[in-house]
Structure 1
């Protein structure tokens, strides 16, 4: 019994031990499971933290990249400094020029027509342009400093997109490139420089001069004939430059230089550079002599002739317009010209920006702006003093020693000037000299030119005479004591009457202008006083002090002037009241050269009528419409219909306190009235017709 009890206890103990072992195993399993779960949770937590860190890092990186992109975009849209602007122009615009190399796809024809155009006897280098360029670049760089004044990179990229990506096949294709990549940047540099130095002048390049448009007499005759229509083949082109450098200043516009475009495929920059680097000062005479002797055969001779013709055309325009500065460009080549001073060798480059085409053209423009405008007499003398018209050559004695063998210039051969030459470089600044015998005005000191660039001519023009004064001159009546020039008239008068007749006035003025086109004669084209047919002058007869206006026309429009004279003769009783006083007409012995290359051959002389109604200068309380109608009715009652009524052809005359009609070239005589006493020949309209833009110009000359 005791034994079975012990056995039962042992069995129960064994079961309890077994149960405890199982329980221990289960606890161990649960602990292991909990450990695994905890480890998994820790791993998941670590992975989550790592992923979160990676996402945070990625987000920060994306944010930084976005910020960098925004900064880059903002920088591209921000204004640039001078150095940045020039670098972008060079990288984004200048280097994009592609020239059509296949002659089948490019324009054909001659580069330029130079027959009867003036050429210089000598060609020399512009010796000090390098120094002037360096000096000017340092000066404008110091003024600009780090200021951001120029267009942004985005703006320049926009210009790049607008320029045709195709190759340039002719001169018309070159024009937008030159204007965008060279002229406009140069213009911006000059304008910004003037703004920062408190100069009120404005500089720009433009297509047209501010004066009477040239008209060919033959073309004008055929234009008037309804039975003849001029074919495109027979149409004569106007002998004017492609571009003008214009300065807007106080008192009007002033031209400072001329520009010529040439198709890049017709004037390879390599050929131009080789010729200019090796040409002697007798380039023009050598070319013409070879042509006359029939020895122009080699490619080198043809290249020289091409360059000579290109330079001849620009020189002709410089002389004809009275400007000392001109430039020629094909986009790849920029040649800077100046009459009378030259350069020798090119020097080593130190700053890419300094030698960029835009910088050189800006420097060139600043030099041209500082130069004085040459008087009209200088142009006339230059055309008749020591220069010749292509293809005429001077006396053989002048060029008997000229060699036909290749020559070098300044010690630099064509071989030494080739591979390292920048095709966009213009600093060699080819320049031309008229001749040793050119007018004295050209050889005057450079100091005088720089000191007084505003001194346009040696004119001395007085105040306008009154209507009563000039009417008295025509009618041989007593002097008008209210005339501002009364004292000068009285000095030579007898018994208080005018010392001369209107016929005397015409004769004396013609002789005065024959002696000098500049003395007491001011062309008002720079103030906008010109139209389709005529240009206005302010003139003083110096001996007697009579001051009045003259309407000048070209030979092609002399018929218009003759018709206007008939209208004035028909309206003698209205002169000095409803229309200006007509003093007569004169034919100029020496045509007056205008900036537009037109030449005035005849003038209609008349009193200054007053200020155009465009400017609202009549006194308060005046019914200007009523006064205008009254004047036009008076004309109609006298048998004349104006036929060109507009504000610019109507003026307010303060002396007569009434509206006067001017510019009668289109007027129609509707009836023939009884002839009235000695009609003072002619004239007409007076001033501002088209091109009124200059009337709003403000500024002073440099």
Structure 2
């Protein structure tokens, strides 16, 4: 009997041990389940509130300003010289009210709860990567904004566009893309071109985004540089200023309702103290953005430092600029106040990503151009390419044969077209563009190295041609290209487009806040980019056609110097390959004692560059075509 208590205690001990084991197993299973669910939650797409919350916590919070002056760029942030200037700055009093109304409409729809945005895991990893880079220049800020705001805003607008209810409510006509146009069509871009020639087969878009070696983002150029605007239909300009140049304390102390004439007079009379100095700094920065907005004809803009956003609006009275200051770190703090599954006030709409899509009076944007994905070189039609692109949807008014007749000066009536000679064409075109630069003169694609491609229609005769417009500092290079086309006149309309002539524009064309175009060259359309015609099956035939066109050009003693797929077209009408963009071309000497002539007027010793240079040029083109075929096959 005495052993019974001991047996009972032993059984209880076993029971308790089993219970603890069972509870531990259940706890482990529960923790594993929670871990799986947490991992699944991070991998699944986010809904709109989750997306905005994560963008603020993981992305915007990753902003680190470079405090070391020796490791950050210098330069003058208030380069407002020769810029259009408003008369006054006033607070945008109803900005927040209208913004809240927009967000209420968005959040009240099923759109907000639909899982359609980047997962938490991707956003967390992006944040970790961003924290490795301090913001010490405008280029750094471009990169940071692209990853933290631009991509995120584009994805929200795109999803809204595909939501029928929101598309109709906000009259959305397409998606929105942000593009960086710093230094495009500027003298600085010539160095950028040289960098692009270093590799055999590179991504065109990435090459254009690289910062040239030895360049800085100082305000050395006085020509306009609207740093950002929406693609295709410019609707919103963003002017970037590195946060160490335009500091948050400068903005807080200097941004106020201001009569700009008072600032000008204070500077003239030298009545400037520290507070006046920061007011002048902020006013000058806003003046830069204002000038781009007016030249581009958009109502809204923004000055961005990464730490702060100054939203701008120019209403019916262009003398007044309305401003609203947003500082996400101060307005939102470390957290947005949003909790999944709980209803309650939050600050999602005050985040950097939340502010952009809900901008008051958001204009509807035109259908954004889809990116061509077939290959590296063919990531999009070259801007300097006189080709039939998607935007050139109307049928061409003249054939190559008809254009050749007009260009050679033979004015007569053909079977279908009323032909005119070249001097008459140029005179009519000059007069038309002097009277109206907006009608029948449409830019196509992005700017090229030295110019912008246009689709131009001569209204009096219905002729549609390609035109390349250029700013003043590239006129010499465009005239050089025209001289090369004239040298190639025997093969125009066969292996190269027909050159119709050049004119100086009587009225300057303000191109999207970037620069003023003052000179134009007119060409017949050459065809489609060769990558759109090239297949593994026709590679041999196309290669033979390219060699035939190159031989014809070389036969007239012209070395192209950039015979890449982006400058090679297939013309369906002539069934020939056409070569374009001769801005870098060189002319071969007639005798061994002479030197090559180059676009810049420099001379190059011939040595052994004659036939061997032509051979090398063809071989390189063949290498690029072969690489392009491999990409297409993959």
Would you call these one fold, judging by a TM-score over 0.5?
Answer: yes
Question: How far apart, in 2, do the equivalents of 1:138 and 1:351 lie?
Answer: 12
1:472 and 2:405 aligned: yes
Contact 1:533-1:553 within 8 A present in 2 as well = yes
From 119, 137, 154, the equivalent of 2:85 is 119
Cα offset for 1:306?
1.6
Equivalent in the alignment of 2:353: 358
Cα offset for 1:302?
1.7
Cα offset for 1:366?
8.5
Contact 1:245-1:365 within 8 A present in 2 as well = no
Contact 1:244-1:256 within 8 A present in 2 as well = no
1:353-393 deviation digits (Å, cap 9, x = unpaired):
122221111223981444899xxxxxxxxxxxxxxxxxxxx
Q: Please list, as runs of the form range in 1=range in 2, the aligned pairs for 1:242-281 lying within 5 A after superposition.
A: 243-247=227-231, 253-276=232-255, 278-280=256-258
Cα offset for 1:170?
5.5
Secondary structure of 2:348's match?
A: coil
1:648 and 2:581 aligned: no
Cα offset for 1:173?
5.4
Contact 2:400-2:498 within 8 A present in 1 as well = yes
The runs of 5 or more residues in structure 1 that have no matched partner are: 1-34, 224-229, 248-252, 374-456, 490-497, 674-702
Secondary structure of 1:364's match?
A: coil
Secondary structure of 1:367's match?
A: coil
Secondary structure of 1:587's match?
A: strand
From 317, 329, 345, the equivalent of 2:304 is 329
Secondary structure of 1:203's match?
A: coil
Cα offset for 1:146?
1.7
The runs of 5 or more residues in structure 2 that have no matched partner are: 196-212, 333-344, 369-390, 592-634
1:296 and 2:269 aligned: no
1:112-154 deviation digits (Å, cap 9, x = unpaired):
3222222222323445533432232123321423222233333
1:567 and 2:484 aligned: yes
Cα offset for 1:307?
1.1
More divergent stretch after superposition (622-631 vs 40-49): 622-631
Question: How far apart, in 2, do the equivalents of 1:126 and 1:555 lie?
Answer: 38
Question: How far apart, in 1, do the equivalents of 2:474 and 2:401 lie?
Answer: 30
Contact 2:503-2:520 within 8 A present in 1 as well = yes
Contact 2:241-2:303 within 8 A present in 1 as well = yes
Question: How far apart, in 1, do the equivalents of 2:143 and 2:577 lie?
Answer: 46
Cα offset for 1:587?
1.0
Residues 179 and 662 of structure 1: CA distance in aligned 2, closer, same or farther (over 3 Å): closer
Secondary structure of 1:156's match?
A: helix
Contact 2:510-2:516 within 8 A present in 1 as well = yes
From 474, 484, 508, the equivalent of 1:591 is 508
Per the normalisation by structure 2, the TM-score is 0.70
More divergent stretch after superposition (160-169 vs 84-93): 160-169
Residues 208 and 365 of structure 1: CA distance in aligned 2, closer, same or farther (over 3 Å): farther
Cα offset for 1:160?
2.8
1:149 and 2:116 aligned: yes
Secondary structure of 1:328's match?
A: strand
Cα offset for 1:287?
1.2
Equivalent in the alignment of 1:632: 550
Question: How far apart, in 2, do the equivalents of 1:624 and 1:65 lie?
Answer: 63
1:325-380 deviation digits (Å, cap 9, x = unpaired):
3211222211112222676999999641122221111223981444899xxxxxxx
Question: How far apart, in 2, do the equivalents of 1:105 and 1:567 lie?
Answer: 45
Residues 242 and 177 of structure 1: CA distance in aligned 2, closer, same or farther (over 3 Å): farther
Cα offset for 1:97?
4.4
Question: How far apart, in 1, do the equivalents of 2:539 and 2:52 lie?
Answer: 57
From 167, 187, 196, the equivalent of 1:215 is 187
Secondary structure of 1:119's match?
A: coil
Question: How far apart, in 1, do the equivalents of 2:428 and 2:294 lie?
Answer: 28
Cα offset for 1:291?
0.7
Question: How far apart, in 2, do the equivalents of 1:662 and 1:466 lie?
Answer: 17
Secondary structure of 1:296's match?
A: coil
Secondary structure of 1:115's match?
A: coil
From 181, 187, 193, the equivalent of 2:154 is 187
Per the normalisation by structure 1, the TM-score is 0.64
Secondary structure of 2:16's match?
A: helix
Secondary structure of 1:464's match?
A: coil
Question: How far apart, in 1, do the equivalents of 2:347 and 2:507 lie?
Answer: 49
Cα offset for 1:219?
9.2
Secondary structure of 1:136's match?
A: helix
Question: How far apart, in 1, do the equivalents of 2:472 and 2:68 lie?
Answer: 44
Secondary structure of 2:356's match?
A: helix
1:624-682 deviation digits (Å, cap 9, x = unpaired):
44444443333444444444333433333344343333333344444679xxxxxxxxx
Contact 1:591-1:600 within 8 A present in 2 as well = yes
1:166-210 deviation digits (Å, cap 9, x = unpaired):
87565555555444443343233223222334889443333237x
Cα offset for 1:66?
3.7
Contact 1:554-1:600 within 8 A present in 2 as well = yes
Equivalent in the alignment of 1:84: 50
Secondary structure of 2:448's match?
A: coil
Cα offset for 1:212?
5.9
Equivalent in the alignment of 2:582: 664
Residues 601 and 216 of structure 1: CA distance in aligned 2, closer, same or farther (over 3 Å): farther
Question: How far apart, in 2, do the equivalents of 1:345 and 1:599 lie?
Answer: 30
Contact 1:262-1:330 within 8 A present in 2 as well = yes
Residues 192 and 365 of structure 1: CA distance in aligned 2, closer, same or farther (over 3 Å): farther
Q: Please list, as runs of the form range in 1=range in 2, the aligned pairs for 1:92-103 lying within 5 A after superposition.
A: 92-95=58-61, 97=63, 99=65
Q: Please list, as runs of the form range in 1=range in 2, the aligned pairs for 1:351-390 lying within 5 A after superposition.
A: 351-364=346-359, 367-370=362-365
Contact 1:522-1:539 within 8 A present in 2 as well = yes
Question: How far apart, in 2, do the equivalents of 1:653 and 1:167 lie?
Answer: 49
Larger radius of gyration: 1
Q: Superposition RMSD on alpha carbons, in Å?
A: 4.3
Contact 1:587-1:603 within 8 A present in 2 as well = yes
Question: How far apart, in 2, do the equivalents of 1:185 and 1:551 lie?
Answer: 34
From 82, 102, 105, the equivalent of 1:139 is 105
Question: How far apart, in 1, do the equivalents of 2:162 and 2:55 lie?
Answer: 22
Residues 144 and 603 of structure 1: CA distance in aligned 2, closer, same or farther (over 3 Å): same
Secondary structure of 2:449's match?
A: coil
Question: How far apart, in 2, do the equivalents of 1:273 and 1:63 lie?
Answer: 53
Question: How far apart, in 1, do the equivalents of 2:240 and 2:93 lie?
Answer: 24
Residues 128 and 577 of structure 1: CA distance in aligned 2, closer, same or farther (over 3 Å): same
More divergent stretch after superposition (88-97 vs 607-616): 88-97
Residues 143 and 120 of structure 1: CA distance in aligned 2, closer, same or farther (over 3 Å): farther
Equivalent in the alignment of 2:608: none
1:316 and 2:294 aligned: no
Question: How far apart, in 1, do the equivalents of 2:70 and 2:470 lie?
Answer: 45
- Count residues with an aligned counterpart: 521
